[in-house]
Amino acid sequence: MTVPGGYVALRAPGVRVVIRADLVDAIGAWLLATPLALPAGSAPVASGRGAAWRITLPGGGRAVLRRYRRGGLVARLVAETYLGVVERPFRELVVTTAARQRGVAAPEVLAARVEGRVAYRGVLVTAEIPGAVTLLEALRDTPAGGRRRALVAEAGRVVGRMHRAGVWHADLNLTNLLVAETGDPDVTVLDFDRARLATGPLRPRARRRNLERLGRSLRKLDPAGRLAAPEEVAAFHAAYAAAMGETCGS
């Protein structure tokens, strides 16, 4: 792996870390320690696999720590161990950093940690987005009407900009879009594990696959259709098309 600019690689017996260079003194020793202990006062973050915590870093900053945890049937046998020579935490750091450089609204990765080789366990530390909730929660808390249309339109713009930047998200769903209320809705895309980078805007087929996955997420989490009326779905697609330069249907 090529370490992105502004990051450095650290090593200790059995542990490798890639960390933002200015944070080495504050959290380098903590990340290299075995076992890795959650800082005092850490609080779990609601997530599908129960593997994330909101933490205060030893240097005082706020962040979210996510342990890589398997899903599906394999999780019954192996919860946190992965196999491979391309470690997923390091790859996610590289892809997320590249996506941010392309203008994608993604959280800043502060560090990635891998314990072991070939068979390994991983951790990703990202900057916290204060006061943010998932798009699912934001839709539930926002009455139908102009405010909700603005919310889904902003989500459409953010997804459109991501696709125009050539970033394909492997798991685009209502819980991987985060909304921070800063007057106007402010949407961030989470979880670039298994995301892919293209050299130009995504092709129509790749865009459709991402949007269909998002649509399936909406139908699964809102089977009664109460969170997104037809005019709100139309607002999402109009904003998406504008962000794509009106090419999303090409």
Q: Identify the active-site residue in 171, 186, 193, 222.
A: 171
Provide the token pair at 164.
Answer: 């125009």
Cα–Cα distance, 68 to 51 (Å, whole number): 7
Provide the token pair at 145.
Answer: 């009407």
* Cα atoms in the Cβ-side hemisphere of radius 13 Å centred on 150: 10
Active-site residue, 193 included: no
Provide the token pair at 121.
Answer: 């366990």
Catalytic residue IDs:
171
